[in-house]
Amino acid sequence: MLRVQNLTKIYEGGVLALDNVNFEVPRGQFLAVIGLSGSGKSTLLRCINRLIEPTSGKVLWNEVDVTAASEEELRLIRRKIGMVFQHFNLVHRSSVLTNVLAGRLGYVNPAWSIINRFPKEDVEKAMKQLARVGIAEKANQRADELSGGQQQRVGIARALMQDPAMILADEPVASLDPVLAHSIMQYLELINKEDGVTVLCSLHFLDLVHRYAHRVIALNEGKLVFDGLPEEIDDNRFKEIYGKDAERVG
Partner 1 sequence: MNKKPSIFKSLRLGLIVLFCLIVYAYGFQVTQVSFKEISSQRRQESLTRVLRALARPDLIEYKQEETIIKTSIYVPCPESEIPSIEIDKSKPYLVLTPACSEPRKQIQIEGYNFTPKSDGSLYFIPPSEVNLNLGTFTADEKGYFSVMVKVPPRPDTAVQYIHAVSLQRTGSPILTQTAKDTWGKIVETVFLALLATTLGVIFSVPISFFAARNLMKEVTSTISALSLSILGWPVGIAIGVIVTRWVNNQSDILLNNSWLALLLIIVLCAVIWFIVRWALPQEETQRPKFTLRVVRLITLGISGIMAIMIAIVAAKLTMKAGVSIISPLGVFGFLGTFLSNMGEIIKTIMPLAVGIAVGALVSNMFGKAGKLLYLRINPSLHLIANFILGGLAGATVFITISFLINWFYQINDPFKIYTIPGLIGALCGVALAMWSRKQDAIPTGMAIYYITRTLLNATRAIEALIWVIIFVVWVGIGPFAGVMALSLHTVAALAKLYSEQVESILPGPLEAVRSTGATRLQMIIYSVIPQIIPPYISFTMYRWDINVRMSTIIGFAGGGGIGFLLYQNINLMNYRAASAQMLAIAIVVALMDYLSSYMREKVV
Ligand X SMILES: Nc1ncnc2c1ncn2[C@@H]1O[C@H](COP(=O)(O)OP(=O)(O)O)[C@@H](O)[C@H]1O
Among partner 1, Mg ion, ligand X, none, what binds residue 181 when CB lies within 5 to 8 Å by partner kind? none
Judged by beta carbon, residue 52 or residue 180, the one nearer ligand X is 52
CA distance 27 to 50: 20
> Does 162 help bind partner 1 (rule: CB under 8 A)?
yes
Minimum CB–partner distance for residue 161 and partner 1 (Å): 8
Give the footprint of ligand X on residues 191-210 (CB under 6 A): none
Which strands make up the sheet holding 30-34, listed edge to edge? 81-84, 166-170, 198-202, 30-34, 215-220, 223-228
CA neighbor of 180 nearest in space, from 45, 44, 88: 88
- Tell me how crowded residue 86 is: count the other CB atoms within 10 A of its CB: 18
Segment contacting ligand X by CB under 6 A, of 7-15, 96-104, 149-157, 240-248: 7-15
| Enclosing H/E stretch for 199 | strand 198-202
Minimum CB–partner distance for residue 37 and Mg ion (Å): 6
Give the footprint of ligand X on residues 20-49 (CB under 6 A): 35, 37-43
CB 153 within 8 A of CB 161: no
From 35, 40, 54, 103, residue interacting with partner 1 (rule: CB under 8 A): 103
CB 200 within 8 A of CB 31: yes
Minimum CB–partner distance for residue 240 and partner 1 (Å): 32
Which residues form the interface with ligand X (CB under 6 A)? 11, 13, 15, 17, 35, 37-43
